[in-house]
Amino acid sequence: GAVVSQHPSWVICKSGTSVKIECRSLDFQATTMFWYRQFPKQSLMLMATSNEGSKATYEQGVEKDKFLINHASLTLSTLTVTSAHPEDSSFYICSASPGRDSPLHFGNGTRLTVT
């Protein structure tokens, strides 16, 4: 079945540094990928829609300059948290679908801790 791989699964970084998270569709092409953020014991909040070859569409309240999204190929989208702060610590999850009539597949998430 369709698999979405996310890397790294966890990362610890110092405040002020940048962190890049990768989301890959391993056996299908995805023109659209979604990035979610999940705080402890809370639901997933959609951050942005990543579109291959074009700019990402950000949800209201999400800082574009802080959460940089690049969808350079049909199998890879990256989320870069720039100048990370402790409040950016969270669980980030990506998802992708082989097509509009196919279900979403989720990555296993990346736990980011900013110290």
In 1-115, DSSP assigns E strands to 4-7, 10-13, 19-25, 32-38, 44-51, 57-58, 67-73, 76-81, 90-96, 105-106, 110-114
Q: Does 8 interact with other proteins (rule: CB under 8 A)?
A: no
Instruction: Pick one of 41, 54, 60, 87: the residue that binds other proteins (CB under 8 A).
Output: 41
Site string for other proteins, 50-89 (x = CB under 8 A): ----------------------------------------
Q: How far apart are CA 47 and CA 59, in angstroms?
A: 5
Instruction: Pick one of 6, 25, 75, 90: the residue that binds other proteins (CB under 8 A).
Output: 6
Q: How far is the CB of 83 from other proteins (least distance, A)?
A: 26
Instruction: Pick one of 13, 20, 49, 113: the residue that binds other proteins (CB under 8 A).
Output: 49
Do 66 and 53 touch, CB atoms closer than 8 A?
no
Q: Does 102 interact with other proteins (rule: CB under 8 A)?
A: yes
| Region class of 61: left (phi > 0), else alpha (psi between -120 and 50), else beta | left
Residues near other proteins (CB under 8 A) are: 4, 6, 9, 32, 34, 41-46, 49, 91, 93, 95-104, 106-109, 111
